[in-house]
Amino acid sequence: MALKKMKFKLKAYKNLLFLFIVFFSFINLYSQTEKPKITLEDLWKKYTFYPSSVYGLRSMNNGLYYTTIDKASEINKYSYKTGKKVSTILNINELDTAVIKSLNNYEFSDNESKIIFYINRERIYRRSFTADFYVWDLETKKLMKVSDRGRQQLATLSPDGSKVAFVRNNNIYIKNLISGVEKAITKDGKYNEIINGAPDWVYEEEFSFAKAFAWSPDGEKIAFYKFDESKVKQFDMTMFYDLYPENRQYKYPKAGEDNSIVNIFVYNLLNERSLKMNTGKETDQYIPRIKWTNNSNILSIQRLNRLQNKLDILLADVTNGKSEVVFTDTNKYYVDITDFVSFIENNRYFIYVGEIDGYNHIYLYDLEQKKLKQITKGKWDVTNYLGYDSKNKLFYYTSAEESPLRRSVYTIDFNGNNKKKLSEKDGMNRTEFSKGFKYYINYYSNATTPAFITLHNAKGKLIRILEDNKPLLDTLQFYNYSTKEFFSFTTSENVLLNGYMIKPPDFDKNKKYPVFMTQYSGPNSQEVLDNWSFNWENYLAQEGYIVVCVDGRGTGARGEEFRKMTYLQLGKYETIDQIEAAKYLGTLPYVDKDRIGIFGWSYGGFMSLLCMTKGADYFKAGIAVAPVTNWRYYDNIYTERFMRTPQENPDGYDNNSPINFVDSLKGKLLIVHGSGDDNVHLQNTMMIAEKLIQANKQFDMMIYPNKNHSIYGGNTRYHLFTKMVDFLKENL
């Protein structure tokens, strides 16, 4: 009887245990299935997964305080050390709120006596715009409108805050804020012919600046560019806004075509005269940078030949216009232009960052001894020069020393010794120092960590956390998602390539999955980085795709030979490497090698088209957004840097332009472009579309009216990504 009772209890226990297992299994299954799915609305309408950051902090001159805009209504002053608000510098209620309804930008004069800001911004190109500028006097609490005679560009306070220089209708003006007098210092500006104080289209896009003038340190002079673009060919672009479309015209020099003739002048406010600086007899050249030294009579000018393989640094005496070459960097490929040239120690030295030994490093040039000294050394690249602390004689920089996939922050002394790593976490670190290098803010992320932003003293000690994105991390707990997994493989040409993979959240190694490859692949770019990203790649992984990105030859942070080997043959080796990646992925047991697709935007779109044609046997579907289809159609500064001119290198252009290989297309293709793209013109898509039609190749195409190279605005991005996702679900 006791035995029967024990058997009954055991049976009852087993039944109860079974019920518990079933119950908790059901709860677990329920919790998994009930987790919300990532939607395109989350990504492109609600921005659910967009990390918070710290924006708009401006260090004050003493390096102890910073300012920022709060709630678009106040500019407040804070202590770096405590994080506490010290004072309110400007409240919008002090202004004419009928005109100025919010604050979202500002700059101090060098002496911090005045603030300049703008409203009613209207975009011109990528970096340029017109607006209505205002100046706020911190002492008198008086608001001044910079000009009532028309919208302005690039309005900039003089160092002492007594004047404003700006550009309007291609001429430079100076407004005296004390007398109220506004005066033009150039008068020959003319649309599509002469530009003073602002760059032409190609300089703005490819040399990455919008302001082409600079106040001298003493505020008595203005150095400025004069562009003569009268011989540059005009590009016409139709904008569909009204009953009759608008024909927009601007100067755009394509590969092998004429550029603007550029000269540098210095205007002296005391004698009211402009003097031309000597930049040599050659006019078919570039002046990618000018910069005042610490001496208001000496202007540095960077001069680059048309082939872009020889860079001269000139020092010009602005009292007579005479100049001398003090340094030259030549390269068998090309020389990159940066903003890192700076003058230190009373103008005895300047900093130069370049690839003189095959890797990007910091150099110190002694102007007295005419001697170059290398500060950083090693088979790795300095990716950002952060500055020089003159008090402690220390250089600060960011490098890829530990891995091309990561960035760390370092300091090193004046003699290139005592290197110290400041950043502590492995991943991507970006740093902004206060003036005087007393504090720095570090922006960190990795593949599993959204922006983690911290404040440190100059020695690296953590003072406090500014942003940890805990709300986003809490939100992500409710979603079933995957993050990047990094991998490397060796191609058949014995080249080691890096990549990342995002697998479906419910990945099963015994299943076979379609693969969607995404890439950019352009010179010195990098997509395979240990940083945070949450976008449509995570959405596609959720939908059952393995998303893969591989950085091929030509990409950055692996030394000069790796990134410049695509010279004269853009597209050749990059395409080989993406095909090699597809082949490698096809060998993995969980990959369906017959269902591999590829995507890219801009240069990446060019690559998608090459892979769908030259690599037609390996890709089932492809998407090309805003693609270059023949480098003959693109601007000359960018294209000739890597390809020289079409006249010098016709085979390099023609043998790697997808427009010439449309007969090879086999898979499904979607091409997308904005009709208002001033950068990669719609012409590129129209030319390859005609070739595809004549080759009797079916393809899909989507044109977004009036949208620029970024294809955004209103509902546009949501529509675009819905279109691309639907295409993939149908064809891959």
Mean pLDDT of 582-594: 98
Q: Of 3.30.70.2610, 2.140.10.30, 3.40.1280.10, 3.20.20.70, which CATH number belongs to 190-337?
A: 2.140.10.30
Mean pLDDT over each residue of the chain, to the nearest integer: 95
Residue 113 known to be catalytic: no
- What per-residue confidence (pLDDT) applies to 35? 85
Overall CATH class of domain 483-731: alpha beta
pLDDT attached to residue 15: 53
Please tell me the predicted confidence (pLDDT) of residue 13.
45
The more confidently predicted of residues 22 and 174 is 174
Residue 21 has pLDDT above 90, yes or no: no
- Taking residues 606-616, report their average pLDDT: 98
By CB neighbour count within 10 A (0-12 exposed, 13-18 middle, 19+ buried), where does 275 fall? middle
| Residue ranges matching CATH 3.40.50.1820 in the chain | 483-731
Query: What pLDDT, in 10s, does the model give residues 625-668?
Result: 999 999 999 999 999 999 999 999 999 999 999 999 999 999 99
Q: What confidence tier does 20 reach under pLDDT thresholds 50, 70, 90? A: very low
Residue 327 has pLDDT above 90, yes or no: yes
Q: Where are the alpha helices (DSSP H) in 518-656?
A: 536-542, 560-563, 572-586, 603-613, 636-643, 650-654
Contacts of 59 (CB under 8 A, 6+ apart): 65, 66, 433, 434, 435
What would the pLDDT profile of 424-455 be if each residue is shown by its tens digit?
999 999 999 999 999 999 999 999 999 999 99
Q: How confident is the model at residue 34 (pLDDT cuts 50, 70, 90)?
A: confident
pLDDT of residue 96: 85
Q: What is the CB neighbour count within 10 angstroms for residue 498?
A: 22
| Whole-structure pTM value | 0.94
- All CATH 2.140.10.30 domain ranges of the chain, comma separated, are 190-337
Q: Is 508 tagged catalytic?
A: no
Asked whether the predicted pLDDT for residue 12 surpasses 50, the reply is no
Averaged pLDDT for residues 473-480: 96
In this structure, which topology does domain 62-109+112-186 adopt according to CATH?
Lipocalin (2.40.128)
Position 33 confidence tier, pLDDT thresholds 50, 70, 90? low
CA–CA dist 257, 75 (Å, integer)? 47
Answer positive or negative: Cα dihedral of 634, 636, 639, 640. Answer: positive
Which one of the listed residues 408, 677, 678, 681 is annotated catalytic? Answer: 677
Helix or strand or coil: residue 687?
A: helix
* pLDDT confidence band for 41 (50 / 70 / 90): very high
Take residue 217 and report the two structure tokens written for it. 């340190």
Residue 198 has pLDDT above 50, yes or no: yes
227 by Cβ neighbours in 10 Å (0-12 / 13-18 / 19+) ranks as buried
Give pLDDT tens digits for 362-417. Answer: 999 999 999 999 999 999 999 999 999 999 999 999 999 999 999 999 999 999 99
Exposed, middle or buried by CB within 10 Å (0-12, 13-18, 19+), for 11? exposed
Average of per-residue pLDDT across 501-506:
98
Q: Measured in whole angstroms, how far is the alpha carbon of residue 450 from the centre of its chain?
A: 19
667-718 pLDDT, tens digit per residue, is 999 999 999 999 999 999 999 999 999 999 999 999 999 999 999 999 999 9
pLDDT digits (tens, 9 = 90+) for 543-575: 999 999 999 999 999 999 999 999 999 999 999
Is 677 part of the annotated catalytic residue set?
yes
Q: Which helix (H) or strand (E) holds 18?
A: helix 2-33
Distance CA 279, CA 299 (A): 12
Report the C-alpha gap between 618 and 277 in whole angstroms.
56
Share above pLDDT 90 across residues of the chain, in percent, rounded to a whole number: 94
* pLDDT in the model for residue 55: 86
Among candidate residues 602, 608, 657, 675, the one labeled active-site is 602
Catalogue the long-range contacts made by 332-337 (C-beta closer than 8 Å, 24 or more residues apart): 333/309, 333/560, 333/564, 333/567, 334/307, 334/308, 334/309, 334/564, 334/567, 334/641, 334/642, 335/304, 335/308, 335/309, 335/310, 335/311, 336/524, 337/207, 337/288, 337/289, 337/302, 337/304, 337/311
> DSSP character for 45?
I
Which segments of the chain belong to CATH 2.40.128? 62-109+112-186
pLDDT score of 235 more than 60 = yes
With b for 16 or more beta-carbon neighbours within 10 A and e for fewer, the 39-63 pattern comes to ebebbbeeebbebeeeeebbbbeeb
